[in-house]
Amino acid sequence: MSGMQSIRSAMAVLALFVGTFCAHGAEQVVVYTPAPPSLTAPLVEAFEQECGVEVKLYVFGTGELLRRLRQERELNEADVLWTGSLATVLPQQELFEVYDSPNEARFQTPFKHPDSIVTAFSELPSVLMVNDEVSEGVEIRGYADLLKPELKGRIAMADPARASSAYEQLLNMLYAMGNGDPERGWEYVEAFCRNLDGRLLASSSEVFRGVADGDFAVGLTHEEGGLKYAAADPEIRVVYMSEGVISRADGVYLVRGARHREQARQFIDYVTSRRAQELLASQLYRRSVRDDVPPPPGVPDKASLNIIYDNFAEELQKKEARIARFSEIFTKVSSAP
């Protein structure tokens, strides 16, 4: 099935559940998102049909969207930021307003954020995406395998300063390879950067495409992207790092001073509703944050994974320092003879 056919099928499925979810109104809602059309299109079209609200969607990387929001603070151009990672958004929470969606009552406990700017949207474990044809039999089970000489220059990694999924991967490897102590993980990060061989990509989508197109043997990404490509290509598979996987939710956020506040709240409630989340899991390759929606078909249960945790509150304070240290290490090893 083609990508466009999949989107149309997903729209049809969601339409079956459409009732009187929203109070119809005029106006529009302006949504900023780093998410690809394959994820956003089915949900946006169904919301527009159900709620009678036009969605103006602007797509850039999370870092670029936050920069735009800072520049536009007095203009109130955007109403919602959709799918930005918590680790990237929360350090700039002054750009957003507190909103407690009624759907949060059905969220899994780790994803409840009462009296917060965060409304959880989907759960995204960090994973490796492997192209078996390109890796040519090299065993890849986790981070340690990424140091193998055979993979030098054949690893796709986005810049953590530009892609939130790459920053999540950096945190994951620090805690996993440091056995819970991120400071001990920097030794691994330096060795890993050497094996990148000076190649660092600009976005998460470049990681997906690079591995799928055979330019790289393995990429560091999140589960949704890996599952989507694996479903279309038998040579692509998803690996959950044996050393440990951090699985965190992304969010949907109400922009402070939003011009279309009521429509923004409707949008947040819609994409976190049961029917939208069922679509998310059944056809869009993402795990739901709700407790009444099963995981995507064929994905391993979280109980079977080596789930680890970071000190999230502490990491929020250290993000810029983490990124700066990674950049310094990458630059140093890339310029070494």
Tell me the pLDDT of the chain (337 aa) as tens digits. 444 444 444 444 444 444 445 655 558 999 999 888 989 999 999 999 999 999 999 998 888 899 999 998 878 789 999 998 898 899 899 999 999 999 999 999 999 999 999 999 999 999 999 999 999 999 999 999 999 999 999 999 999 988 888 999 999 999 999 999 999 999 999 999 999 999 999 988 899 999 999 999 999 999 998 999 999 999 999 999 999 999 999 999 999 999 999 999 999 999 999 999 999 999 999 999 999 999 999 899 999 999 999 999 899 899 999 999 999 999 999 988 7
- Which residues 6+ apart lie within 8 Å of 229 measured at CB? 129, 208, 211, 212, 236
**Domain 3-122+248-299 matches domain 124-246+303-335 at the CATH topology level:** yes
Measured CA to CA, the distance from residue 273 to residue 228 in angstroms comes to 22
C-alpha distance from residue 69 to each of 86, 181, 255, 335 (Å): 16, 34, 8, 35
Place of tokens 């990387």: 61
Beta strand residue intervals within the chain, DSSP E: 28-33, 54-59, 80-85, 96-97, 119-131, 155-156, 218-222, 236-239, 247-255, 287-288
* Structure-token pair, residue 134: 């390109």
Homologous superfamily assigned to 3-122+248-299: Periplasmic binding protein-like II (3.40.190.10)
Q: According to CATH, what is the number of the domain 124-246+303-335?
A: 3.40.190.10
Beta-strand pair 28-33/80-85: parallel
Neighbours of 91 (CB within 10 A): 15
Domain ranges of the chain: 3-122+248-299, 124-246+303-335
Per-residue DSSP letter, 115: T
pTM: 0.84
pLDDT digits (tens, 9 = 90+) for 247-267: 999 999 999 999 999 999 999
